[in-house]
Structure 1
Amino acid sequence: MSETVCATLPLTRWQGDRGTYHLVVITGNEAEQIAMHARLHRLEYGTQRGFGSVKVMARIGETEWKSSVFPQRSRSDAEAKEWILLVSKRVMRAEDLAEGDLVTVELELL
């Protein structure tokens, strides 16, 4: 049985040293659901995935892809309050998206 998280979020642009990335930042109840899934995975398998990530099957509009969401924590927080999903140029082109657009993201937690 898989768990699904759905949220409508703004598409954000982030400029890094190696290029420009587009992403959505998942917060609130949806972030808590992902964090709980990660904790249960760690309890079941005794390890966590790289960088504390959670594998997902992501969907925006008609475009679906396999990816991971990554925890975003401050130095004082042991638990992630936010999770990051990168959105590729391929997805942006297929769904005609631009920075600042509100996108409905559906994540099947794997």
Structure 2
Amino acid sequence: MLEMVFETDVIDWRGPAPFFFARVPEHHSEAIRSAAKRVSYGWGVIPASAIISGVAFTTSLFPKDGNYLLPLKDAVRRQCGITAGDTVVVEMTIGAPDR
């Protein structure tokens, strides 16, 4: 598994429904691409677990312009009190969560 910690800004995308993401810094992208070959479970899905402000959650990374976005679930955002434009510290592990 690949572990990383980074600080990043929360962004939003206003499609049919609003989605919020934490951008994964570009310098982590190559390591994620390499790990993805071992951990992806189909269609290029890259499983990830993360902790923001003490709130742990699981999700899958979204590829975007050669980098990755970490989706932020509404329940996580509410619990952390974060929204678009906020800066967050993310502890992230790439790979399937322990079951």
The two structures have a TM-score, normalised by structure 1, of 0.77
**Larger radius of gyration between Structure 1 and Structure 2:** 1
Q: Extract unaligned runs of 5+ from structure 2.
A: none
Task: Count matched residues.
Answer: 95
* RMSD of equivalent CA atoms: 1.6
Partners of 1:50 and 1:9 in 2: CA distance: 28
Q: Extract unaligned runs of 5+ from structure 1.
A: 43-47, 74-80
Identity of aligned residues (%): 21
Amino acid at match of 2:48: V
Partner SS, residue 69 of structure 2: strand
1:84 and 2:69 matched:
yes
The two structures have a TM-score, normalised by structure 2, of 0.84
Listed one character per residue, the Cα deviations across residues 45-87 of structure 1 (whole Å, up to 9, x for unaligned) are xxx53441211111111100111112224xxxxxxx2111110
1:60 and 2:52 matched:
yes
What residue in structure 2 maps to residue 70 of structure 1? Answer: 62
Amino acid at match of 2:68: W
Give the ranges of 4+ consecutive aligned residues of structure 1 lying more than 2 Å apart after TM superposition: 48-51
What residue in structure 2 maps to residue 28 of structure 1? Answer: 26
